[in-house]
Amino acid sequence: MTAHKIIEKKKNGEKIVTITSYDYSFAKIVDDCGIDLILVGDSLSMVILGYKNTLAVTMEEMLHHTKAVSRGVSNAMIVADMPFLSYKINVHEAVRNAGRFIQEGGAEAVKVEGGKKICPTIEAMIDADIQVMGHIGLTPQAIYEFGGFLVQGKTIEAAKKLILDAKSLEKSGAFSIVLESIP
């Protein structure tokens, strides 16, 4: 599966089946079931490693789990979640870190959180031949900004911002967008 095939399925009105996996065994099982896309989520910080939020997981830990998932997959597209501070310091570092997920981790794409402000970084990644999935709404890496795991986009202004962010991500070249905890 590729980003282009995911887009094609969307255009054809076909369902896209996605799941999160953190290890070889589960990735192999879900890949054998015909899953289209597997996200190696930074949620492994809490679910697997026992941290209190997603901010603690490192590039090396995410790479380790992405490698494990990629060894169990032969059909599904693998998207690696870029951890906190791995892509917002500067564009050069973001592209290099994203490239590590492709080159070392075996992912076909990366996922980044954020709206319009992250678009120049997404464009740079795509210029480096790295496919990108966006993520808006509740973005767990901004948990302290939001004051917790809260639904986003409840007011008219917030909903309009989400729409603007989604359109900006699409324009920047993101092949898909995670919409988390929105009405």
pLDDT digits (tens, 9 = 90+) for 138-179: 777 777 666 666 666 678 898 899 999 999 999 999 999 998
Question: At the topology level of CATH, where does 3-180 sit?
Answer: TIM Barrel (3.20.20)
Token pair listed for 53: 């939020």
Domain ranges of the chain: 3-180
Kindly report the length of the chain.
183
pLDDT grade for 83, boundaries at 50, 70 and 90:
very high
Token pair listed for 37: 């896309």
CA atoms within 13 A on the CB side of 4: 2
pLDDT digits (tens, 9 = 90+) for 107-149: 999 999 999 999 999 999 999 999 999 999 877 777 766 666 6
% pLDDT > 70, the chain: 93
Distance CA 104, CA 70 (A): 10
Residues 141/113, Cβ–Cβ less than 8 Å: yes
Q: What is the pLDDT of residue 137?
A: 86
113 noted as active-site residue? no
Determine which one of 61, 93, 123, 180 is catalytic: 180
Q: Cβ atoms within 10 A of the Cβ of 7, count?
A: 13
> What is the pTM (predicted TM-score) of this model?
0.91
Phi and psi angles of residue 49, each rounded to the nearest 5 degrees, phi first: -95, -10
Q: Where are the alpha helices (DSSP H) in 12-51?
A: 24-32, 44-47
pLDDT digits (tens, 9 = 90+) for 26-55: 999 999 999 999 999 999 999 999 999 999
| Block residue for tokens 């870190």 | 97
Q: What is the pLDDT of residue 9?
A: 94
Smallest CA-to-CA distance from 53 within 44, 63, 62 is with 44
Q: What is the 3-state secondary structure (H, E, C) of 46-69?
A: HHCCCCCCHHHCCHHHHHHHHHHH
Residue 71 has pLDDT above 90, yes or no: yes
- Which residues, in sequence order, are bridge partners of residue 132? 110
Distance CA 73, CA 27 (A): 6
